[in-house]
Amino acid sequence: MIKISSLVAVTAYTLILTTGAFAAGSHIEIPRNEWSFSGISGQYDKAQLQRGFQIYREACSSCHSLNRIAFRNLAQKGGPEFPEEELKVLASEYEVDALPNEDGEVKKRSAVLSDRFPPLYANEKEARSIHNGALPPDLSVIAKARGTAYVGPWYWHPFAMFADIFNGYQEGGSDYIAALLTGYDEPPETMEISEGMNYNKYYPGHQIAMANPFAGGNNQVEYQSAMIPSTVKQYAKDVAAFLSWASDPTLNQRKQTGWQVLVYLLITGVLLYIAKRRIWASVKH
């Protein structure tokens, strides 16, 4: 029995170590944050998502699209849950292609709740020509498309991974975005920054084409609630939370269902164990 469990442990270790090989690469330590949606039971904070959306609109939407999100999604449970009336007004400020009319012309119409956020650029070439050759990615899945790398001694790595699985750490992308947006700084003297590029502590290679969206510093955005500090740090966290929701809109439901399923499985497990003991009690083995 001991051998079996050590075999299981060895295999688990294999699994963990091999997944670890993914993370190998440019190792910039990204600070981890406490998110309301962290871990195995965390849920989104509606008010934070609403603030994050405000930041997206005011500071990012001029360059970054949000193609996979429909206006109605912003009203859904487990999201920012804006009132539908507000969203109808918001949608009507955007224009999308109408169906071809009798003469085959495609005209514009104002958007409705079921429409998605319209694309900002006709194609990648146009986007790059506007942004000096760089491409501002669509932000709908950005929080899942980025992560953090493990920094530390290799022998500790498997334990760190066990801990992450056990604690349900999935916020690498959120941490990265929050870090990126607060990572603008003066470059170190030894570093040459190319024309049109900006120094950023957390961007791989440290030179990013995106100018600091919060160059205006603290108080550049006006929050409705006076309780929330109007600082760059707060903006970064709020918009990162909003983008995390955009990448993973079913997180609240997923974790809630997860707990129900686990409780059910645990009870079934105990019952089966008792039944098994009873049945095997009559045979020698």
Partner 1 sequence: MKAHNDTYLPSGSISKWIDERLPIMRLMHGQFVDFPTPRNLNYMWTFGGILMFCLVTQIVTGIVLAMHYVPHADMAFDSVQRIKRDVNYGWLIQSIHAVGASMFFIAVYLHIFRGLYYGSYKAPREVLWILGVLIFLAMMATGFLGYTLPWGQMSFWGVTVITNLFSSLDEIVPGLGSSIVTWLWGGYSVTGTTLNRFFSLHFLLPFVIFGLVALHVWALHVSGQNNPTGVEMKVKSDGVPMSPFAVMKDLFALVIFVIMFAWFVFFVPDYLGHADNYIPANPLVTPAHIVPEWYFLPFYAILRAIPSKLGGVIAMFSAIIVLVFIPWLDTSRVRSTKYRPLYRWFFWLFAFTCIALGYLGAMPAEGSYVFWARVFTFY
Residue 254 interaction partner, one of ligand HEC, partner 1, none, beta carbon < 5-8 Å per kind: partner 1
The answer to the question of residue 279 lying near partner 1 (CB under 8 A) is yes
The answer to the question of residue 62 lying near ligand HEC (CB under 6 A) is yes
Cα 99 to chain center, whole Å?
34
- Single out the residue of 222, 252, 215 nearest to residue 80, CA to CA: 252
Asked whether the beta carbons of 104 and 114 are under 8 A apart, the reply is no
Nearer to ligand HEC, 11 or 62 (CB): 62
Asked whether the beta carbons of 115 and 68 are under 8 A apart, the reply is no
The answer to the question of residue 268 lying near partner 1 (CB under 8 A) is yes
Residue 165 interaction partner, one of partner 1, ligand HEC, none, beta carbon < 5-8 Å per kind: partner 1
CB of 104 to partner 1, least distance (A): 24
Kindly list the distances between the CA atom of residue 76 and the CA atoms of 51, 84, 248, in Å, as whole numbers in the listed order: 16, 9, 13
The answer to the question of residue 79 lying near partner 1 (CB under 8 A) is no
Residue 191 interaction partner, one of ligand HEC, partner 1, none, beta carbon < 5-8 Å per kind: none
Which residue type is seen at 63?
Answer: C
Asked whether the beta carbons of 69 and 79 are under 8 A apart, the reply is no
CB of 157 to ligand HEC, least distance (A): 23
Site for ligand HEC in 180-219 (CB under 6 A): 180-181, 208-211, 213
Phi, psi (deg, nearest 5) at residue 96: -130, 165
Quick one: angle between helices 46-55 and 232-247, nearest 10?
110
* Residue linked to tokens 């224009």: 95
Site string for ligand HEC, 137-176 (x = CB under 6 A): x----x---x------------------------------
Asked whether the beta carbons of 158 and 17 are under 8 A apart, the reply is yes
Residue 63 interaction partner, one of ligand HEC, partner 1, none, beta carbon < 5-8 Å per kind: ligand HEC
The answer to the question of residue 237 lying near ligand HEC (CB under 6 A) is no
Nearer to partner 1, 99 or 281 (CB): 281
Residue 210 interaction partner, one of ligand HEC, partner 1, none, beta carbon < 5-8 Å per kind: ligand HEC
Site for partner 1 in 84-143 (CB under 8 A): 137, 140-141
User: Which of these segments, 30-38, 78-86, 95-103, 144-152, binds partner 1 (CB under 8 A)?
Assistant: 144-152
Residues forming contacts to ligand HEC in the complex (CB under 6 A) are 55, 59-60, 62-64, 131, 134-137, 142, 146, 177, 180-181, 208-211, 213, 239
Residues forming contacts to partner 1 in the complex (CB under 8 A) are 1, 4, 7-8, 10-11, 13-15, 17-22, 24-26, 40, 68, 73, 137, 140-141, 144-147, 154, 164-165, 168-170, 172-173, 204, 247, 249-250, 253-255, 257-259, 261-262, 265-266, 268-269, 272-273, 275-276, 279-280, 283-285
